[in-house]
Amino acid sequence: MSERLDRLAESHGIQTGYISEFGERKLLTDEAKRTLLGVLGIDPDTGEDGTFDEAADKPSLACRVPEDLVRRKAWGIACQLYSLRSSRSLGMGDLSDLAELAEIAGRAGAAFVGVNPLHALFLADPGRFSPYSPSTRRFLNPLYIAVDALEGGDAAIAALRASEPSLFGGLDGDFVDYRAAGNLRGRLLRAVFDARVDAIREDKSIEAYCAGSGEALRDFALFEAISAYMVAGGYYAGWHSWPDDYRRRDASAVRHFEAEHADDILFYLWLQYEAEGQLAEAQRRAKASGMRIGLYLDLAVGVAPDGAETWSDPDLTVGVARVGSSPDMFNASGQDWGLAPLSPRALAARDFRPLGDAFDALTRHAGAVRIDHAMGLARLWWIAEGSNSAGGGYVRYPLGQMIDTIAKVSQRNGCLVIGEDLGTVPPGFRSVMAEAGVLSYRVLYFERRDAEFLPPAAYPELSLACVSTHDLPTLKGWWLASDIDLRAETGRQTEERTSEQREERRRDRRMLIVGLKEAGVLPEAHERVASGEDPLPTEIDQDLTDAVHRFLAKTPSLLVTVQLEDMLGSVRQPNLPGTTDEYPNWRIRLDTPLETLADHPGFRATAAAMRDERPETP
C-alpha cells in the first residue's frame, strides 16, 4: 500500500479503513481508494492533497428537546401510510387516512403517529414506489392526496366511476396495486384540475405558495410535466432515458417546453399546494386530538439518480457513484441502494443550504423527524460506477456542519430529531449525536449483551425505543421466525445458516421471556416458561405482546414507538432488504380498516398497556 495514496484519500474524506459492526478493522484496497478518488475528480497519481478537516466533526448547535418530554415520556404509533385501508381511500392510504389515524391514536393516548417517507416519487410511473428512492426530498408524493377532500373531488370520482367503472375494480386486495391506484388517482387529480383550472390560475393563495417555494418548486413541476410527456412518448419517467436535448434544466428544448406547457406545469404546482395543505391539516387534527408531538415524518438518505433533484441541479450530487452499505450481518456482500450521493464539495460551497432546505420542507408540518441512516451525516458508503457494493468505501461529510444545519431548522420549526443509527456506526458517532440533541434509535432485537436482552434501565434517555422497524420482522413474525424462513425461501442464505438461525431464535425467545420476568412485566401465565418448567409457546399471545411493549415503556427512552402491525398481530414485515420481486416490498396492506381500528382487540390492549406505563396526562 502507498502512504501517499492513503494520505491523498484521507485528505479528500475517503476513509482508508473502518470498524465493522463486529468490531473488526477493515481496510480498503488500493483499487477502491483509486476508484473513489476518481469519482471525486481527483487523479490518484497526480492529485494534490485535499482539505478535509477533522475539526468539522464537532457541532456547535443542538436540536430541540422539549423539557416537557424529559419530565413526561411519550409513546406513539408507527405505520406505512400506503398500507392504511378505509372505505373512502382508493387502493392505498392517503393524507385523510393519516389524519383519521392520528385522531384514533390521539384518543388512545398516543403522543405521535409516524409514517414512511412521503417524498415525491415519479408520478408518471407509479410502478416506482419505494419510499426510500425519491425523485426529490423537497416535495411530497401527490398520490397521497385525498381526492375526495379536494373541491370538486367527489364529483370527479362519481363521473369517472360512471364512465369507466373498471378503473375502480381490484383496489381492495391484500397488496397495493400501484399502477392501478396511481393511474386512477392521476386521472382523478387531472380531472379536478381541468375543471377548476381558471380559478386555480387566479387563486392568490396558490400564487403566494409558489412564490414562497421559489425556483426549486418550479423546477420540480417542470420535471414532472416533461416526465409525463416522455412516458406518453415511450420513454421512461427518469431523465436518463430522455433525448439529449431534454436532459438538463438549462437546455433550449426544455425552455421551449416550459413556454408551451404552462397549464401542465401549473398542474404539478397545484398538486404540491394541495398535498402540503392536506399534510398541514393532518398535523392540525393530530394536535387537536391531544397529541403533544403529532406527525413523525421520515427523511430518506438520498435521491434517485434519474429524478427531479439530479436533473435540475446536477452539480449537487455525484452522478458516477451510488450510495449503499458496507458488508454486514444481513448482507455479506453489502448493499447497493441505487441512490445518488450528495457532493460534500457542493454542500460546503453552498453553506449546506440544500440539506437545510430539504429538512425545513419536511419539518414544517411535523413534531418529529426520523433521519434514515443517520450515519450519512458523517459518512456514506459510495459505490463507483462499474463496481459492486463490496468494492465501495466510506466517503466522509463534515458531521458538525451537517448537524448544525439540521439543528437550526429543528429549533426554528420546533421539531424533535431522531437519528436511525443502526448497522455499522462510526466510533464516537452516537456521543456526538447525543450532545447535539439527536435521539438514538434503539431496536429491542439488537439491544443485547451477548445472548441476553439488555434491561430497560440500560437504554439511553435520549433515544427512541421500538420493538422492530419496517426492514425487520414484526413481533409475531420474529416469534415465528418468519424472517429466517423468508431469507431461506428467497435464496439469501444457506441451509446450514438457516438451521443455525432457527436454533438461535429458539434461544432468543427464551431469553426474551427471562428478560420480561426480570423487568417485572411477564404475565403470570408465562412464569413456568421463564423457569423452564413449561415449553415456549408456539405463538406469541396478546398478553405477551403487551408485556414486550411494557418492557420498552419502562425504559428511560424519551419516546417509544409501537408498530401498528404489532398492535394488529400481523406476521408480514413491510420490506425485506435485498429483495425486489421475491417479496411484496412496500405493498402490504393492513387487514383492519380504519373504521374498526379503535375497536380491534389488539389495538385496544396494547394502547391500554402503553397508557398505563406512559400516561399522556400528568
For residues 334 and 207, membership in a common domain is answered with yes
395 SS3 class: strand
Question: Is the same domain home to 205 and 315?
Answer: yes
Residues 477 and 456 in one domain: no
Cell of 311: 436533473
Residue 511, number of CB atoms within 10 A of its CB: 15
Per DSSP bridges, beta strands 136-140 and 119-120 are antiparallel
Give me the residue label for grid cell 425523485: 135
d(C-alpha 156, C-alpha 158), whole Å: 5
> Per-residue pLDDT tens for 401-412?
999 999 999 999
- If you average pLDDT over every residue of the chain, what do you get? 95
DSSP letter at 341 equals P
Q: What are the cell numbers at 6?
A: 492513503
Output DSSP code: residue 242: S
Give pLDDT tens digits for 498-526.
Answer: 999 999 999 999 999 999 999 999 999 99
Q: Binning pLDDT at 50, 70 and 90, where does residue 578 land?
A: confident
- Strand-pairing partners, residue 419, are 371
DSSP state of 340: B
In this structure, the answer to whether residues 157 and 147 fall within a common structural domain is yes
Burial pattern 552-577, b for ≥16 Cβ within 10 A else e, equals bbbbebbbbbbbbbbbbbbbbbbbbb
Scan for cell 367503472, then name that residue.
165
Written as one letter, the residue type at 407 is: A
Cβ pair 545, 526 in contact under 8 A: no
* Residue 1 pLDDT > 60: no
Question: Does residue 538 sit in the same domain as residue 446?
Answer: no
Asked if 372 and 295 sit in the same domain, the reply is yes
The rounded distance, in Å, linking the Cα atoms of 124 and 183 is: 9
Rounded Cα–Cα distance for residues 333 and 408 (Å): 38
Give the three-class secondary structure for 297.
strand
145 Ramachandran zone, left/alpha/beta (phi>0; psi -120 to 50): beta
Q: Does position 593 have pLDDT exceeding 80, yes or no?
A: yes
pLDDT of residue 23: 82
Are 328 and 461 in a shared domain? yes
End-to-end CA distance of the chain: 62
CATH number at residue 37: 3.20.20.80
The pair phi, psi for residue 383, each rounded to 5°, is -120, 115
Domain termination site, one of 440, 467, 494: 467
Is 214 a residue whose pLDDT tops 70? yes
CA–CA dist 70, 331 (Å, integer): 37
Say if residue 602's pLDDT is above 80. yes
Q: pLDDT above 70 covers what percent of the chain?
A: 99
Q: Give the mean model confidence (pLDDT) for residues 305-323.
A: 97
- Pair (454, 474) in one structural domain: no
In the predicted model, what is the mean pLDDT of residues 142-169? 97
Whole-angstrom distance, CA of residue 151 vs CA of residue 205: 15
Give the sign of the dihedral formed by CA 57, CA 59, CA 64, CA 68. Answer: positive
Q: Mark which of 398, 432, 467 sits at the end of a domain.
A: 467
Ramachandran quadrant class, 438 (left: phi over 0; alpha: psi -120 to 50; beta: rest): beta
State how far the Cα of 71 lies from the Cα of 615, in Å rounded to an integer.
12
C-alpha span between 131 and 353 (Å, rounded): 23
Residue spans of beta strands (DSSP E) within 340-472: 368-371, 379-384, 393-396, 416-419, 440-443, 448-449, 452-453, 463-466
Work out the average pLDDT over 388-400: 93
Cα–Cα dist 429/423, whole Å: 12
- Percent of the chain surpassing pLDDT 90: 90
Q: Are residues 454 and 560 in the same domain?
A: no
Greatest C-alpha distance within the chain:
78
Residue 501's pLDDT is what? 95
328-361 pLDDT, tens digit per residue, is 766 767 889 999 999 999 999 999 999 999 999 9
Residues 6+ apart with CB under 8 A from 229: 257, 261, 264
Q: What is the band of 618 on the pLDDT scale with cuts at 50, 70, 90?
A: low
Judge contact between 563 and 467, C-beta under 8 A: yes
Sheet holding 393-396, edge to edge: 335-339, 321-325, 379-384, 393-396
Helices (H), 173-307: 178-202, 204-232, 252-260, 262-288
CA 297: distance to chain centroid? 8
CA dihedral 155, 160, 163, 168 (to 10 degrees): -130
Are 246 and 337 found together in one domain? yes
- Cell numbers representing residue 448 in the block: 443485547
Distances in whole angstroms, Cα of residue 408 to Cα of each of 53, 292, 401, 566 = 22, 21, 11, 35
What average pLDDT does the segment 155-166 reach? Answer: 97
Whether pLDDT at 390 is above 90:
no
Same domain, 498 and 441: no
In this structure, the number of other CB atoms found within 10 A of the CB of residue 370 comes to: 26
Question: What is the residue range of 40's domain?
Answer: 3-82+91-467
Residues 175 and 155 in one domain: yes
pLDDT tens digits along 98-152: 999 999 999 999 999 999 999 999 999 999 999 999 999 999 999 999 999 999 9
**What's the structural domain count of the chain?**
2
- Residue 299 predicted with pLDDT over 80: yes
pLDDT digit string, tens, across residues 254-265: 999 999 999 999
Q: How much is the CA Rg of the chain, to the nearest whole Å?
A: 25
Report pLDDT for 24.
87
Q: Residue 431 pLDDT > 90, yes or no?
A: yes
Domain boundary among 449, 467, 485: 467
